[in-house]
Amino acid sequence: MKKVIVDARGRVTPASSKSHIIHRFFLASAGGRLGINFWYGPKQLEDLEKARTLVERSIDLYFEEETIAQAKAHFKSYLPLNNLITVSVDSPNGHLGAAHRHDPEQFLHISRHEASPGLVCGDIVAGMWEVTLSLHAIVTDYCEYSLQIWQEEEAAQ
């Protein structure tokens, strides 16, 4: 049986770059496995002029004076610009890893016996859990995300 614990949608803008959104939720019963379905989009900034402006601003910040002109001439080598949001998980007993990947859609799970890449196995204990969305970069005018978290019985070994 699948019990949905979090079903959230959100919308963020570039102002939220370099911030975290923490979903803290209570598991009433222990056991089974925790499933996480996370999606965000759009992934890419399609607007070439906006992308160029962002890249040029970044080049001004990060390049040495004498290399700026050349870097700007090659601004296309830094495209496409992407949104990046990563997921990490903390149980009441401690940290259970992160899925630092570029995929805009991720199905993750954790149980005592197995876990998705980046996450570590751990008992699904009762108590307060946290799923953190880390917004490394939001480059589009807005970026929508959805997050579902559920608890279910673990498939037989």
Residues that bind another protein (CB under 8 A): 17-18, 20, 54-55, 58-59, 61-64, 67, 78, 81, 84, 86, 88, 95, 97-102, 115, 117-120, 132, 134, 136-137, 139
Give me the least distance between CB of 115 and another protein, in Å please. 7
Closer to another protein by Cβ: residue 25 or 62: 62
Cα separation, 41 vs 12, in Å, equals 10
Query: Rounded to the nearest whole angstrom, what is the least distance from the CB of residue 87 to another protein in the complex?
Result: 10
3-state helix/strand/coil string of the chain: CCEEEEEEEEEECHHHCCEEEEEEEEECCCCCEEEEEEEEECCECCCHHHHHHHHHHHHHHHCCHHHHHHHHHCHHHHCCCECEEEEEEEECCEEEEEECCCCCEEEEEECCCCECCCECCCCCCCEEEEEEEEEEECCCCCEEEEEEEEEECCCCC
**Closest approach of Cβ 23 to another protein, in Å?**
14
In the complex with another protein, which residue's Cβ is closer, 29 or 92? 92
Q: Which is nearer to another protein, 3 or 74 (CB)?
A: 74
Q: Which is nearer to another protein, 95 or 112 (CB)?
A: 95
Closest by Cα among 1, 18, 5 to 133:
18
**Which CB sits closer to another protein, 28 or 95?**
95
